[in-house]
Structure 1
């Protein structure tokens, strides 16, 4: 692994952290959603966080395939509040949500109860899953790999718990993204950049980490959308100038700069 592939935003060496530090961070910050006004755990809180997430990550409903797993066993690693998990459950999947933070699981269970959904929620570390081999048909791991100390261990565990022919959707942040360039040039904020672990991977490094899978389809997503959080002149320049200008460019030119790298993978049958 090259230092460039996992450097922090400031160019320093990658940060290492014990599992306890990662758990403590997310236990404290799982409710840090800048757009929300409602008290955590309320119906309005879950509605606001889901609306913000799926508007900001506008590609998810288009490509994540939430409705494609009815009757299957689905594992959501790093389930957080359970908003993504709920989409699988609502479409008929048997879902298991796993998170390292007890507070996240408490909120995810409440989220499901308010929606009238069924799901199992388990406290655990995605780098050491407490499930037998071949337990799941599909594993969803979005917005997690760049926050775990050893992403390659988590990928190996995902491969282990998948059934033969099973599929997974894995996401990693792209060190060559437009977002990282803006952060460096204009100090644009990146969510949880100062968490105990934050990896930046290049596409080649990410693809190499997935070589145990029989099929790998790597796509770039997360392109600029108008900010709803920030105000003032900087936000207006970002919304009216940068977002529109960027999205007017041919996607074939801008695609490799997508902030999120999405890997659609399949385990050999």
Structure 2
């Protein structure tokens, strides 16, 4: 069962992400420094979107009043939303104080401001209909009760409010990894890996579910992936699904550089993230 992970607690999730802030091992600069923020932004755009920012993630103009960046991590999306949209009121929320510290520092670096809140996405403390738009990128696949998170996103949105939500995508590679895992082993022997958090042997792993979990670290309590029908089934009880699209091919894990055009093809054909633009019923 993809949803029920009752043996894993929010405390487990909090402890891991407090000790392992997102992208902490991916940069050459000191965590939280201006150089690290600049480098991190390049990594996100280059690896996550093959070098091209996708404006479909942004809220529609009519819903830029009160915006929540849920699971803000080190603040990449909080900054991008503020820089790219005319937002009246921005709130960044995360489970850990460490993430909010980094988000605050990032906003200060860019001369931007937001309210910051410690929040559990499964049970937020915001009132009903508090927001016009919720941004939630790569967050709710890291919590025991993902369905509760979706229900909470709907609860804190006003009627007609929108959200951009993404999770790990169970693409053709993951669905058939039991048959093609030897390719991963070959890449590993050539030097393919992810740096830090005990992820160096990820390409040698033969269990697709374990690969999803291991992507964020060997001690990561939970990581889930969804195919399109599973993702839509999560969303449809609460939202009209207006658009589904895909991104993310982790080129930085390969043992060789690939041309940008090739990366864009892989981003489109072998994506590891699925995105949805949704509107509250």
Instruction: Identify the TM-score tier after normalising by the shorter chain.
Output: 0.7 to 0.9
Q: Match of 2:139?
A: 144
Superposition deviation, residue 220 in structure 1: 3.5
2:153 to 152, 158, 161: 158
Q: Match of 1:131?
A: 126
Superposition deviation, residue 160 in structure 1: 0.3
For the pair 1:224 / 2:233, whether they are aligned, the reply is: no
Q: Match of 1:9?
A: none
Q: Match of 2:275?
A: 262
Distance in 2 (alpha carbons) for counterparts of 1:15 and 1:192? 20
Alpha-carbon displacement from aligned partner over 1:52-80 (angstroms, at most 9, x marks no partner) = 11111116433212684785111111100
Distance in 2 (alpha carbons) for counterparts of 1:205 and 1:225? 23
Q: Match of 1:199?
A: 224
Distance in 1 (alpha carbons) for counterparts of 2:263 and 2:139? 30
Q: Which moved more, 1:173-182 or 1:68-77?
A: 173-182
Superposition deviation, residue 259 in structure 1: 1.4
Distance in 2 (alpha carbons) for counterparts of 1:121 and 1:15? 29
Contact 1:168 1:265 in 2 (8 A): yes
1:92 to 86, 89, 97: 86
Distance change in 2, residues 1:85/1:181 (3 Å): farther
Q: Which moved more, 1:142-151 or 1:28-37?
A: 28-37
Gaps of 5+ in 1: 7-12
Q: Match of 1:109?
A: 104
Superposition deviation, residue 218 in structure 1: 4.7
Q: Match of 1:46?
A: 37
How many residues end up aligned between the 2 structures? 246
Distance in 2 (alpha carbons) for counterparts of 1:31 and 1:176? 23
> Structure 1 length as normaliser, TM-score?
0.80
Q: Match of 1:212?
A: 237
Superposition deviation, residue 15 in structure 1: 7.9
> Structure 2 length as normaliser, TM-score?
0.77
Gaps of 5+ in 2: 185-201, 204-210
Superposition deviation, residue 163 in structure 1: 0.6
1:15-54 mapped onto 2 (5 Å cutoff): 16-54=7-45
Q: Match of 1:73?
A: 66
Distance change in 2, residues 1:207/1:163 (3 Å): same
Contact 1:31 1:40 in 2 (8 A): no
Superposition deviation, residue 112 in structure 1: 0.8
Distance change in 2, residues 1:43/1:69 (3 Å): farther
Distance change in 2, residues 1:192/1:114 (3 Å): same
Q: Secondary structure of 1:239's match?
A: coil
Distance change in 2, residues 1:177/1:120 (3 Å): farther
